[in-house]
C-alpha cells in the first residue's frame, strides 16, 4: 500500500527479525494512519530533498519485536511515529544527517528527534527520525557513537 510516492506501508512494517521468528508485525488501523503521517510529513520531504532513494531499516515495531531489538519501552517505533533510515550508499549517512539538520534549521522540516545512531563520529550506522511530539521538546538532536 503506497503511503507517498516513494514510501509504502510494507517497507515501514517489514522486519527480518519478525519474519525469521514468525512474529506478526501488522499495525492496527491507528498505527497505520500514524505511519502515513510519518511518511508524508517526515520521510517524503527528506527523500525529496535528498534526491535519491532512502532505505528504511526499521519503522513500526510490535512490542515483541521492539524488545527483541533492544528498543526502549517508550519507543516511538511502537506507535508508528519513528523510522530508522539509511542513505544509499550507507557511507553517506553523515550527509543525510546534515541534510535533515539543515532542513530543520531552514524550517522545512519538524521532527521529534533526529538521532545519529552508532557507527562512528564521522558516519552513523543509521539516522533515526520521528514525528513531532505534543507537549514535548521537538527538533532534538541526539548522538550515540559506537
Average pLDDT over residues 99-121: 97
pLDDT value, residue 145: 84
Kindly report, residue by residue over 36-78, the tens digit of the pLDDT. 999 999 999 999 999 999 999 999 999 999 999 999 999 999 9
* Phi (first) and psi of residue 52, to 5 degrees: -160, 180
Task: Tell me the domains of the chain and their CATH numbers.
Answer: 9-144 (3.30.1380.10)
Region 118-142 average pLDDT: 95
pLDDT in tens, 73-92: 999 999 999 999 999 998 99
Residue 42: burial class (beta carbons within 10 Å; 0-12, 13-18, 19+): buried
Amino acid at each position: 500500500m503506497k503511503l507517498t510516492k516513494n514510501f509504502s506501508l510494507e517497507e515501514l512494517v517489514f522486519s527480518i527479525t519478525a519474519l525469521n521468528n514468525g512474529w506478526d508485525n501488522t499495525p492496527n488501523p491507528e498505527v497505520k494512519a500514524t505511519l502515513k503521517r510519518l511518511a508524508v510529513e517526515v520521510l517524503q520531504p527528506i527523500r525529496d530533498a535528498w534526491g535519491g532513494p532512502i532505505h528504511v531499516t526499521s519503522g513500526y515495531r510490535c512490542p515483541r519485536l521492539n524488545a527483541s531489538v533492544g528498543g526502549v519501552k517508550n519507543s516511538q517505533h511502537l506507535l508508528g511515529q519513528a523510522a530508522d533510515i539509511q542513505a544509499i550508499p550507507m557511507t553517506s549517512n553523515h550527509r543525510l544527517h546534515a541534510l535533515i539538520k539543515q532542513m530543520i534549521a531552514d524550517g522545512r522540516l519538524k521532527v521529534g528527534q533526529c538521532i545519529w545512531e552508532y557507527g562512528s563520529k564521522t558516519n552513523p550506522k543509521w539516522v533515526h527520525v520521528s514525528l513531532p511530539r505534543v507537549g514535548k521538546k521537538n527538533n532534538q538532536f541526539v548522538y550515540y557513537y559506537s
